[in-house]
Amino acid sequence: MSNLPDVSEIVLLQRETNELVPAELWDAITDKNLADWEHAWTPELLQRLLVLAKQGVAQKHWPQSFHWNWRDKAQSIKGLLDRQCFSVVCDDMTQAMMITDLSRRAQLESQKTDHLVYVDYVEAAPWNRSELSGVAPRYSMCGSVLINAAIQYSIMEGFKGRIGLHSLPQANGFYANHVGMTDLGLDADAHNLRYFEMTPEQAEEFIKKGG
């Protein structure tokens, strides 16, 4: 599917031991990542959905990405210059994936029509999602790592760290509170998902040394 990705050495927080463990940030979604999604993420996700179903949780409260098909999506953007993929790998397993889009423009008044990196898709592996199981994630910091990468990518492309995304409802708190993005409200053109955007100043604040 793709050439070898560039690999950046990072660490993730392993929650069981509360220790930082070595991991990698890849600038691609490769066959290996897609195989992990098919053979590890999907069965695990279905098992967790079974638990929710048995608990009588209504489907509208299920995680809304449960039917995402990463293979289809990766195939559909193959070769496109305005799309860039990322994956986080730890312990030889894909822990999270992201696809970004360079073709969109900012909507926030202070930066309207400026270029930004739009996060098309981002998802963590089922075992890293406490909402699915009610227990702590196996690894945390995947989301922060990917958003940091999106910001750095935005800077590399001359967009000064501006990023934008439509958050799934369960993740609104992450983008509003932890990442510190501006909430532009529900987007009627996007199934009423909440649209978040980051200014260069907010981006610098998020990625600065010392957190």
101-120 residues in contact with another protein (CB under 8 A) are: 102-103, 114-115, 119-120
Whichever of 44 and 93 has its CB closer to another protein, that residue is 44
One-letter amino acid for residue 72 of the chain: D
Site for another protein in 55-94 (CB under 8 A): 58-60, 62-69, 73, 80-82, 84
What would the DSSP string read from start to end of 148-198? HHHHHHHHHTTSTT-EEEEEPGGGHHIIIIIS--EEEEEEGGGTTEEEEEE
CB of 38 to another protein, least distance (A): 9
Interface map 164-183 toward another protein (x if CB under 8 A): -xxxx-xx-xxx--x-----
Q: Which of 1, 39, 47, 78 binds another protein (CB under 8 A)?
A: 47
CB of 22 to another protein, least distance (A): 10
The span from the CA of 99 to the CA of 200, in Å, is: 21
In contact, 149 and 203? CB cutoff 8 Å: no
CB of 121 to another protein, least distance (A): 4
Q: How many residues bind another protein (CB under 8 A)?
A: 81
- Nearest Cα to 87, choosing from 24, 2, 130? 24
What's the helix, strand, coil split of the chain in %, to 5?
40, 30, 35
Site for another protein in 189-208 (CB under 8 A): 190-193, 207
CB of 126 to another protein, least distance (A): 11
147 contact partners, CB below 8 Å, separation of at least 6 = 119, 163, 179, 206
The span from the CA of 34 to the CA of 181, in Å, is: 29
Interface map 12-41 toward another protein (x if CB under 8 A): xx------x----x-x--------------
Whichever of 73 and 204 has its CB closer to another protein, that residue is 73
